[in-house]
Structure 1
Amino acid sequence: MIRVLIVDDDKLVRKGLASAMPWKEFGMEVIGEANNGENALKFMEESKVDLLITDLSMPVMSGIELMRIVRQQYPHVQIVVLTLHQDFEYVQEALRLGAIDYIAKVQLEREQFEEVLGRIKTLMEQKEGSKAASAPDEEAEQADEWFVLYALNPMNEDSKSSSSAEYALPDQAVEAEAGIWYWSGSPLVSYLPDPNAALVCFQHLSGLDRKSVLQLIRGYKKSDLFYEFDPTESVLFVNAAELLHREKADRSFGVDQIKGKWLSADWIYEANVFESMIQELKGYKMPPIRLARIFFSLSDEWNRLYQQILTEPILIEDFFSSWFRFEEWLTDVRDRISSANTKPLFSKEIQNSIVKAMNLAQMNISEPIAAADVAQQVNMSSSYFSQCFKQYVGQTYSDYVRDIRMERAKEYLRNTTKTIQWIAEQIGYNDEKYFSRLFREQVGVLPSEFRQLSEGRTK
């Protein structure tokens, strides 16, 4: 059964397509709906999808953006574009990104449903034909041990799927789906560790039919490979019997809770705290794309928090091939912040307290905390806190709070259409006129003028 996900910001369109089209007649089943690209990705993290039918014009994340991510993260998923207008520029872009067909809403009538689904089914079969033609021999089906090579690099919009020739695979290797090849017998004799590919040996497969084994190796890539792959090892050995009976990871985590922990300063100075937080994070086994989203957001917050001491901003990679690479990046971030924070005049405890104070100022920007209250929260006397903060950061606590408020105001002015009053309230000023006057003193122009200048630069 072909599992279908429908993505459209119009609820009536989604419900209409799901209920009116004769899906079952063509071996299809609608297993989910989403009103934008971001929610579609969340659904795909938890559910297997074979066919994605998506609108092009949607809020939050457009269909084109969704397609680019799906091509990278789920290259086996076939895509059909759903569009209200036959805007051929958009349609051509969608087809270039790998869509197999498009459906024009204005031309979709009941008597055409069978024709549309029939055409889609045929196109899917044609694209999958080369894979279906490569069936393994009887020996492979009965083998107790399979070798599987996973290509870890995502496809970009201008590239095709990885070729088996890139890895000098044996002749009997079969492509399970884009970027996954399997075979029985000997491993790759000349294979060396590769950060962009994982060679996995699945053992104890006897008793499983071919379909079950294929489900196992596909599911392993989705749930476990990212966290278990070590690019320094030539082969990763996996006990299939244990894998089948492995308990699913507890994913009942709160994103805000995770962000709160990683915005604290404890992990920067305490090695045992860092190790504990790393292991806790790894234990969630969240989908890699969700992990990347969380730390994209955190990297922005770290840059805002530590901008006074970092010589260069923290950058995060677009894609991590494995947890190994992610942990390397996170360790490097920790080293950069801790070395930038190291000042011989202060003990680690004092440095930690000052960073906590900076963090509190950032997180409570709408209702700033007075210096005396912050000093109490970080266990320092008010006078000593003020002295240490100025020496460590290079400005007084009140000046630091004012500057981060102005920087946040600039972000709101550049990236939102909210009123000046609303922006003033978000950064702790109830009086719009007072905020505007203070903004002009610090920036040189009124908030309204800054917004106009920013809009002019982006045109």
Structure 2
Amino acid sequence: MYRVVIVDDEPISRNGIEAFIDWNREGMMAVAICANGEEALTALNACSADILITDIKMPLMNGIELMKQALELYPSLKVIMLSSYSDYEYVREGLKLGAVDYLLKSALDPEELLEVLHRCISMLKEERKKELEFNHYQHEAIYKERKCLEQQIKRMMVQAKLSFSSIDWAPSWMRQQYACIYLMLDSAEELREKHGYLHVQLLLEEFQEVFYENMPEGAAVLSGERSLFLLLPVSVCNWDIRILRLKRSVEAELNLSISVGFAVEEGIYGVLNGLANSRMACQRRFFEGVGGIYEWKENQAAINVSKMEIEALDWSPFFEIIRNGDPVSSAVEYAIDQWKGLCLNPEQIKKAAYDLLLHIKELQADTGSLLTDQFDLLEQAETLDQIASLFKCVLEEMEPSFTPRIPDNGNGGQLITKALEYIDAYYRENLTLQMVADSIHISKNYFSILFKQQTGYNFIDYLIELRIREAKRLLAEEDDRIYDVAETLGFNGVKYFSRLFKKMTGLTPLEYRKKYKETCSPIT
């Protein structure tokens, strides 16, 4: 719908022009009917019209002055002048200024006016078509230029170097300060499993397109299966705020989370350094949580930790915690402190976690398939919290702490295996040697001898050890009273339980609870 402003100081004339035309049928609308030039200029500022029909001679501001000011504000405005026979000099000036045509007010004919209006519309259509073509051509040229820059940067990343003889392709802004921004899709593995590999690539490409649409300068390079590397001139006003807004907008629109690391470099030869630093900054997501924006800092430089240093870590306290049946969370916390102490990177921590699980395999039979599955999950973990949580679950599932291995595959070994299962089911009750022997249909004397041979434990020592280990778990993970813990596990009174517990652990039940209660909470 084309918008028309009509200006004439004579009411009959301006109202007649409005009545001449069926504006809606012709694809136009009269948005303002004005009595003088000043009123018309105000209306133009308010409604940004396409066509101006104006009388030449008017009070306050004549048509020529109105036309001059209107065309300065709106160069594409089409002007039709209304004149009398004596206005020839004004008409000539108006045509020089760019009026489409003039019509004599005394002989104004609806068809003649409509013909000039149609000519104005044709001119507007043609100009807009050319403008669209020019914008499209300009967009294509800029797009090709950016794609060329993108390829050059990608080539640098692949070759890991920049030839001093091949920098002509670099735009001027790369010779000054620019931001290197490394983006990683969070939960990319989950997205792949749910929607497929191509979906993740399409998400990255979509962000790339949004970046090009919103940033007048810069480059965006796909740098991996889940990441994007951006270069943006620091001279772009509030570039960091714009990146934050862009990140939030894409996250909201695509329903995903993105982590961002950035570093500022200067000069063409800083690109590879910027890539490394921004990527390292983004790795802080592993320690600080996904979805954030992390700035590279000088003290964040990678520490080269040798394999020998990692292997030299003291894990005896870790295995002591496992063997003693103390809370698994305490063991995991110890492991994390060890890794952090060496400043290991995420991949080294994942490898170290898996190596620990392999060592624990010695405490538990037939865990090969479990470890294979859990190693896959370790590889997919994106944060240290996830590693800790997974590691804790694996240790709890493996239960490597106490069940003895039975060396005899014959009848004796089978009997004691059944006895261990019975003990495991009823150890909280007032269990006796006779009851266990009866469960496998042998005498208690023979059972006592056979149990010692197969497990290395006396029956009562094994039963007490089992109950104390469960007491540790209850004290650390539950809020039951110490009296209730003793009663639940079949101990003969809380005093006896407390004395026995301290003798075996070195701590009273209350001291143990205080020491391990916090470490048993979810690791964050």
Q: Which TM bucket (shorter chain)? A: 0.3 to 0.5
More helix per residue: 2
The TM-score with structure 2 as length reference comes to 0.33
Larger Rg: 2
